[in-house]
Structure 1
Amino acid sequence: MLFAIDFLIILAVVVVDQLVKFWVATNISMDAVHQVIPGIFSLTNIRNNGAAWSILEGKTTFFYLITVVALVVLLYFLYQTRGHWLYQISLSLIVAGAFGNFIDRVRLKYVVDMFQLDFINFPIFNVADFSLTIGVIVLFIAIFKEDRLES
């Protein structure tokens, strides 16, 4: 039963990610910035050929390889953690984020990013990136919680 929930989390995040990216790509001009909350949050449309802050820009083959390896390892861990709901939620979010950006890289050769925090110097990100980040935070919580239980 829980494995079905993992699949639903992954599917929901990937679908939302792809829909938001499609909406942004069709409704916001490239590099245009639309303030949503002035001084705090904007929507923009950029193409990211690298990772955060455009590091490793243009290394598409590297991203293909590392993502496939990461997805295989993550799916293995997801299977191995059946019954540990916090691990499964975290890994499902991480898988969804990795897969959402992988779809862009395969289909477009770049990742569509759109969420811009105007009050700090932070990379523009997308739903998949947000899912990855939340997944990693939840994973740290799960590990910390497990370590406390074992102590």
Structure 2
Amino acid sequence: MAFCLFVVLLVLDQVVKSYVSTAMLLGETIPVVPGIFHITYILNPGAAFGMLAHQRWFFILAGIIIVAAFLYYYPRLRRQCGWFHYGCVALLSGAVGNLIDRIRNGLVIDFIDFRVWPVFNIADIAIVLGVASMIYAILYKMKDTED
């Protein structure tokens, strides 16, 4: 099931990014709900909010480290509660989706534009929901084994 989640999120991210990058011009915006939600094609040279712009090799290295750490710890992760396990899988899927962009283009394709927030993509959603799921698991679902 975890593998299916990983694949679905990664394929959805890459297919939509491919469509946006071929069907739209860079900087083009399509209002879905005018003034509230647009599809806007941009290339992001940094992380969230454009932080650490143009640090391509840093982000590629960080992505590779995340993948390696996930693979190393996965046997232990599988034994954790579902919220933590699947949160890690979602985070990995998002990290790999953006890593593919950085390796291919040096930049990440972003397109979801709510006008009051920086433009983002499906991989970013997977990362945020994965981390939120992990935090939820740590705070409310994981048993304290130190007793």
Q: If the length of structure 1 is used for normalisation, what is the TM-score?
A: 0.89
Structure 1 Cα separation of the partners of residues 55 and 98 of structure 2? 14
1:51-96 deviations in Å (ceiling 9; x for gaps):
1121111111111111111222233333312132221110010000
Structure 1 Cα separation of the partners of residues 75 and 37 of structure 2? 37
Q: Which residue of 2 aligns with 1:113?
A: 110
Q: How many residues align?
A: 144
Kindly report the root-mean-square deviation, in angstroms, between the aligned alpha carbons of the 2 structures.
1.5
Q: Which residue of 2 aligns with 1:81?
A: 77
Q: Which runs of 5+ in 2 are unaligned?
A: none
Q: Which runs of 5+ in 1 are unaligned?
A: none
Is 2:97 aligned against 1:92? no
- With 56-65 and 68-77 compared, the bigger mean Cα shift is at 68-77
AA in 1 matched with 2:84:
Y
Structure 2 Cα separation of the partners of residues 142 and 16 of structure 1? 25
Q: Which runs of 4+ in 1 moved over 2 A?
A: 74-79
Helix, strand or coil for the counterpart of 1:56?
coil
Distance apart, 1:49 and its partner CA: 1.1
AA in 1 matched with 2:13:
D
AA in 2 matched with 1:24:
V
Structure 2 Cα separation of the partners of residues 123 and 79 of structure 1? 36
Q: If the length of structure 2 is used for normalisation, what is the TM-score?
A: 0.91
